């Protein structure tokens, strides 16, 4: 969650620096999630089994307490992980 915040704001959790660090490198939230999911799977050659939510792929994902597309970037830091699902099995629940 912290890494998503940094990717879309180019700031540390404490807000440093004002105006952000290399603001031209900010990602949209959608692009940041894609980078952490599909592109990570692609880089390891596993895009056929993970990296997106599709039939037949591993069900590895987290469920957050907030819809991070509908809150401010700063509030993303306060979103809690409610569930972690690994290979279709809940391995963590809050």
Mapped onto helix, strand or coil, the DSSP state of residue 35 is helix
Kindly report the backbone phi and psi dihedral angles of residue 72, in degrees, each rounded to the nearest multiple of 5, phi listed first.
Answer: -70, 155
Calculate the alpha carbon distances from 64 to 15, 49, 57, 75 in Å.
22, 23, 21, 12
pLDDT at 75 over 90: yes
Q: In percent, how much of the chain has pLDDT > 90?
A: 79
Model pLDDT, residue 20: 73
Spatial separation of the C-alpha atoms in residues 51 and 61, rounded to whole Å: 9
Structural domain range at position 54:
2-93
Please state the pTM of the whole predicted model.
Answer: 0.84
pLDDT at 60 over 80: yes
When pLDDT is cut at 50, 70 and 90, the band that residue 55 belongs to is: very high
Q: Which two tokens stand for residue 86?
A: 């690994």
Model pLDDT, residue 40: 94
Domain count, the chain: 1
* pLDDT digits 0-9 by tens, 12-53: 888 777 777 888 889 999 999 999 999 999 999 999 999 999
């Amino acid at each position: 969650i912290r890494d998503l915040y940094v990717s879309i704001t180019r700031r540390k959790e404490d807000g440093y620096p004002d105006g952000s660090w290399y603001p031209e490198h900010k990602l949209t939230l959608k692009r940041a999630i894609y980078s952490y999911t599909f592109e990570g799977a692609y880089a390891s050659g596993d895009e056929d089994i993970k990296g997106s939510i599709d039939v037949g792929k591993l069900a590895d994902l987290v469920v957050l307490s907030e819809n991070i597309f509908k809150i401010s970037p700063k509030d993303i830091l306060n979103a809690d992980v409610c569930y972690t699902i690994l290979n279709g099995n809940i391995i963590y629940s809050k």
